[in-house]
Chain A
């Protein structure tokens, strides 16, 4: 492309953005309408009117059920989980294999994405500060669902002749359900899960990430009047090329670098939020007050207390993906003889994601009051405004964090989508290749769309995965409980003991 043709491209790119938007939005709205079927109470346009999306109830009921059914392992097993990650129980013979730490961090880098920055901002903007309280609660409960799915992920994983290991809901739904005499239902659930996983990978794992990363890039370069505003399509293209280089071109160095930077980025992000909190230190007691008062007695929030709960729960579920089944795919590569060990380790994932990182975001935007600002769309810009209270250049730091979080989440989710494609097409390399191409195309779509349709589509696809996954978890609940309790007994009796090194 020559420089002479640039003005023409500028003119056209606005057109392309709109065309993509117009084409995708109706489909996205239709799909999310089905997944987010809501039960409504009260008269519309009155204070008592509330919409309860059935799917959010579905996730929270499951999380509560497994918390009670597994005997509050999310609290009681916390220390044991940390000991496992520290390698206290690791067999020295397994050195060189995938450690618990590696399985956990791989899963976390897929989970910690823009849900933690933008999703939380949406929850607090719509549900008020009180949404934070419910988000944390949902995070704590979600630890149990995560434990259930990751235990199964390891138990029913497949080891291929070439030594590679694949696991995840598709395998435990098919093989686990067959074991308890529900072969047909298991097969159907596994296929349904795999299809939704492909959708979720393209939606929340890709379009949402590209969308919000692009929004932050545009935001820090001058916003809607800035030079990059009409170029969202091009930013998306750059993302797509970078993702394509890794997943199609096999440029491992990019993926490796990102995976290595992201954990530090997460620490830097938390430090950034703490800087925001300390800069506005005097507002801390008031903010904490707002969170507790808002949780039980919200003012001006649609649907009142139920409305707040729904916002908090919904964003927590989208952020930590407990019940969705996605990260069971990442966790199941661990080297262990006891599937329950990874169940315990996976408890830490929603804790890091929701209870630590999401809470940080939330405190930053509640303390600075940017959540109540109606000038900008709720999303990453709300968090960015909170960061700006520290120093004018601070949103740039956020921008770097956002781009890296988005990129690593996209790499992880492209892997989940690829495994689901592989499951549906018998590990056909051709099918996996087609998926990778489609994935990159959707990156461009995500960057070009406005937030509404993207967030709806990504939510709906990710939540749809939980329909199959949680159904399977209920059927296999006894298997999970047996696995975890037998393991706990082995730890207690010393059969599975700390390894002296």
Chain B
């Protein structure tokens, strides 16, 4: 069975990506995974006080993402006859989506086109453009 992985953030284009993926999943019988990746790097520099509370901070970041990003995204899928699984993970968004896809059979990644701020896109490149470069599975970008 094939799987559709939809990467979401707060943007409206990522809502459209969820709707697109949900419709596709309902029509094809593929499983739907709704994922939000919290940008994080193991190589960033931190203070000792931050480290002390890191586990607690991680838990509250995950809870906030679940409530503010995942739940609204899941609400979008209500119109379609599909029950998505969800997940919130820390890491580099493009890399995490790809490694998730690599672990599933016939995976297909769906993301919205805009998400990051313009400045971030200029400095680091956007998640979709990075995805297109590194993905080993098909990627659909929703405008």
Asked whether, in the complex, the Cβ of A163 is within 8 Å of the Cβ of B46, the reply is no
A252 to B56, CA, bound (A): 17
Q: Does B91 lie at the interface of the complex (its beta carbon under 8 Å from any beta carbon of A)?
A: yes
Contact partners of B56 in chain A: CB under 8 A = 162-164
Asked whether, in the complex, the Cβ of A259 is within 8 Å of the Cβ of B46, the reply is yes
Asked whether, in the complex, the Cβ of A95 is within 8 Å of the Cβ of B40, the reply is yes
Report the stretch among B5-13, B22-30, B47-55, B132-140 that lies at the interface: B47-55
Contact of A96 among B40, B45, B47 (CB under 8 A): B40
Q: How many pairs, one residue from A and one from B, have CB atoms within 8 Å of each other in the complex?
A: 90
Asked whether, in the complex, the Cβ of B55 is within 8 Å of the Cβ of A165, the reply is yes
Q: Does A77 lie at the interface of the complex (its beta carbon under 8 Å from any beta carbon of B)?
A: no
A110 to B48, CA, bound (A): 9
How far is the CB of B130 from the nearest CB of chain A, in Å? 17
Contact of A415 among B45, B48, B53 (CB under 8 A): B48
Asked whether, in the complex, the Cβ of B48 is within 8 Å of the Cβ of A329, the reply is yes
Asked whether, in the complex, the Cβ of A106 is within 8 Å of the Cβ of B48, the reply is yes
Q: Does A105 lie at the interface of the complex (its beta carbon under 8 Å from any beta carbon of B)?
A: yes
Q: Does A146 lie at the interface of the complex (its beta carbon under 8 Å from any beta carbon of B)?
A: no
A266 to B55, CA, bound (A): 29
If A163-B59, A501-B99 touch, whether A97 touches B54 (CB-CB below 8 Å) is yes
A69 to B85, CA, bound (A): 52
Asked whether, in the complex, the Cβ of A102 is within 8 Å of the Cβ of B42, the reply is yes
Asked whether, in the complex, the Cβ of A98 is within 8 Å of the Cβ of B89, the reply is no
Contact partners of A415 in chain B: CB under 8 A = 47-49
Q: Does B38 lie at the interface of the complex (its beta carbon under 8 Å from any beta carbon of A)?
A: yes
B48-72 contacts to A, CB under 8 A, are 48-49, 51-56, 58-59, 61-62
A90-114 contacts to B, CB under 8 A, are 90, 92, 95-103, 105-106, 109-110
Contact partners of B117 in chain A: CB under 8 A = none
Contact partners of A126 in chain B: CB under 8 A = none
* Nearest 4 Cβ contacts at the A-B interface: A96-B90, A163-B56, A99-B42, A333-B51
9 contacts between A and B (CB under 8 A): A96-B40, A97-B55, A105-B46, A106-B45, A106-B46, A262-B45, A329-B48, A333-B51, A333-B54
Interface residues of B (CB under 8 A from A): 38, 40, 42-49, 51-56, 58-59, 61-62, 89-91, 99
| Apart from A102-B46, A106-B47, A159-B55, 16 more pairs, CB < 8 Å | A92-B99, A95-B90, A95-B91, A96-B89, A97-B55, A98-B46, A100-B42, A102-B45, A102-B51, A105-B46, A106-B46, A163-B53, A255-B47, A329-B48, A334-B51, A415-B47
